[in-house]
């Protein structure tokens, strides 16, 4: 199975900060990756597809990038509504596998 190693597990930041989190795939030459935002008690919301493409309606302060098997989600200027847990998903190989999540909190 492809493991998605996500870091950090938690992150404390201030409003206006630039925030980054990463997922590293344990194997695979062509990983298709989604990033999601999940707030407590809510369904995950798709933010990024194809590692770097912004889903319609998602604020432009969110961006994704890929370098080999390393994937990064960046929030360029943190807003209060961004406090949530973020996780990645690889959907190129079965079984699909998720990162363990990064919980983003306000400092």
Least distance between another protein and beta carbon 95 (Å): 4
Q: Which residue has the tokens 């969110």?
A: 62
**Binding status of residue 98 toward another protein by CB under 8 A:** yes
- For residue 86, which of 70, 74, 94 has the smallest C-alpha distance? 74
Task: Map residue 83 onto helix, strand or coil.
Answer: coil
- Determine, following the binding rule CB under 8 A, whether residue 89 of this chain makes contact with another protein: yes
Asked if 91 touches another protein (CB under 8 A), the answer is yes
Applying the rule CB under 8 A, the residues between 33 and 72 that interact with another protein are 34, 36, 42-46, 49-50, 53, 55
Separation in Å, CA 63 to CA 13, 48, 54, 75, 89: 17, 7, 7, 7, 15
For residues 74 and 77, give the distance between their C-alpha atoms in angstroms, rounded to a whole number: 9
**What is the smallest separation between the CB atom of 79 and another protein, expressed in angstroms?**
23
Comparing CB distances to another protein, the nearer of 69 and 87 is: 87
Residues that bind another protein (CB under 8 A): 32, 34, 36, 42-46, 49-50, 53, 55, 87, 89, 91, 94-101
């Amino acid at each position: 199975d492809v493991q998605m190693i996500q870091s950090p597990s938690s992150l404390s930041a201030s409003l206006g900060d630039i925030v980054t989190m990463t997922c590293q795939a344990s194997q695979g030459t062509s990983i298709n990756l989604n990033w999601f935002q999940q707030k407590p008690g809510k369904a995950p919301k798709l933010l990024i597809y194809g590692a770097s493409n912004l889903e319609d309606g998602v604020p432009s302060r969110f961006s994704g990038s890929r370098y080999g098997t390393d994937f990064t989600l960046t929030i360029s200027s943190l807003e209060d509504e961004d406090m949530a847990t973020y996780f990645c998903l690889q959907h190129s190989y079965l079984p699909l596998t998720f990162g363990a999540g990064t919980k983003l909190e306000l400092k």
